[in-house]
Amino acid sequence: MPLFGTDGVRGLANGPLTADLALHLAQATAVVLGQGRTAEARKAAGKRLTAVVARDPRVSGEFLSAAVAAGLASSGVDVLDAGVLPTPATAYLIADIDADFGVMVSASHNPAPDNGIKIFARGGVKLPDVVERRIEAAMAGQMLQPTGVGVGRIRRFADAEDRYVVHLLASLPHSLDGLHVVLDCAHGAASGVSPETFRDAGARVTVIGADPDGMNINDGVGSTHLDSLAAHVVRVGADVGIAHDGDADRCLAVDSRGRIVDGDQIMAILAVAMKNRGHLVADTLVATVMSNLGLHRAMADQGITVVQTGVGDRYVLEAMNAGGYSLGGEQSGHVIMSEYATTGDGLLTGLHLMAEMARSGRSLAQLASVMTVYPQVLVNVRGVDRTLAATDAGVASAVASVATALGDSGRVLLRPSGTEEMVRVMVEASSAEVASEYAEQLAEVVRERLAL
């Protein structure tokens, strides 16, 4: 089974994900990412490689980040330990100080017992699959073993947070003066830096979910648990609520009445604002196949093209890089603004969303009305042969029949799971009842035709 998943190496901390694995993964990373032309030039000039290491506040991050730092230093890499910081901050800092690469220890929105190791290449970009495979192969080979003055140093990255905050504030097209926001930091990596940044941007800030104890990350709070945020926004009369996940690469929102504004709606708002300011490259937005039909309709009405990708922010980023586009993301709240970031950044997204509220004088509900959200029903069909989902004639016929019945008022998507014997059936329609009826109808066909 491959070591790397869709977003780095992830698993139960001290289960599959041990300190020994973290150390050897770091050593292999030093071998592979130390082979580029820039890295070789630095070594030829007598300079060691440099890496940024950071983590979210879950308790296992303490020993795992220490193991990563030890593995890198033992391979001759100088380590700048940034402590607890969001994933997008780590990516930004790698580029900002011209480090050779960086490592973020986090399991994002997963519960506290899990953890993960995300590796970023030079410039703060995620690794392509081919490089991940090279690192995995290198773990079985000879590691770098310098001695004496050849080993790396581990130092505290003292101004890491300040650099990131200054970067975020410098990106804003408008201050947040006059707006009241409730921030839900998921007891995660944004607990310190997010409230500070939104206050510095001019907002009045009420904070929840910002008391990490190492075990409460994402526990009933954050972007996967929005009920508490919605209740707080209504209770204190705030203009908006912003929710991060554990490593703060996501942003979801709620309006002043506590209604959820998801990643599709946020992208729609930002796309229109960026187009009006001349910052939306080629008047194009990149989104995954899971984005709502309403997003496509709204963007067409605004003269904005939508480029579709597979599910996953890495595929969004690949399409953005290939076309030079400036905005893309996912319904889940991973939003990439490539003018300012190389990955999804929940703080950056929330700041720019509120900046458009302040600039326009419109409420979040008014801005979100740019798109109509079509009811979307998702059914997970388990115990089926996912490999046949795209080729079975009976399934294809059923999908075509439903697509014809829906016409322009909906759409159908079948997506095999990448990790288990399951097929996801998604139907969008003009009403939840119609979407549910067709989704269950297709799910039954999948069960009958693809049963194991």
What phi, psi does 208 have (nearest 5°)? -130, 160
Q: Where are the alpha helices (DSSP H) in 116-226?
A: 129-138, 160-171, 193-200
Q: Which residue has the tokens 């003009």?
A: 430
Per DSSP bridges, beta strands 9-12 and 114-121 are antiparallel
Structure tokens that stand for 272 in this block: 């229109």
CA–CA gap between residue 249 and residue 191 (Å, rounded): 13
Cα–Cα nearest to 32, from 117, 125, 100, 115:
100
Element (H, E) at 237: none
- For this structure, is 338 an active site residue? no
The number of CA neighbours under 13 Å toward the Cβ of 150 is 8
3 state SS of 282:
helix
Catalytic residue among 60, 65, 106, 108: 108
Amino acid, single-letter form, for residue 240: V
CA–CA gap between residue 345 and residue 61 (Å, rounded): 20
Distant-in-sequence, close-in-space partners of 400: CB < 8 Å, separation ≥ 6: none
108 known member of a binding site: yes
245 known member of a binding site: yes
Element (H, E) at 397: helix 393-406
What are 51's strand-pairing partners?
79, 101
Query: Which regions of 204-294 does DSSP assign to beta strands (E)?
Result: 204-208, 240-243, 252-254, 260-261, 284-288
Structure tokens that stand for 445 in this block: 């066909």
What are 53's strand-pairing partners?
81, 103
CA–CA gap between residue 174 and residue 359 (Å, rounded): 6
What phi, psi does 330 have (nearest 5°)? -130, 160
146-153: long-range contacts (C-beta < 8 A, 24 or more apart)? 146/74, 146/75, 146/76, 150/76, 151/73, 151/74, 151/76, 152/48, 152/49, 152/72, 152/73, 152/74, 152/75, 152/76, 152/77, 152/78, 152/79, 153/73, 153/78, 153/79
CA–CA gap between residue 243 and residue 450 (Å, rounded): 39
Amino acid, single-letter form, for residue 73: A
Known binding-site positions for Mg(2+): 108, 245, 247, 249
Catalytic sites, residue numbers: 108
Known binding-site positions: 108, 245, 247, 249
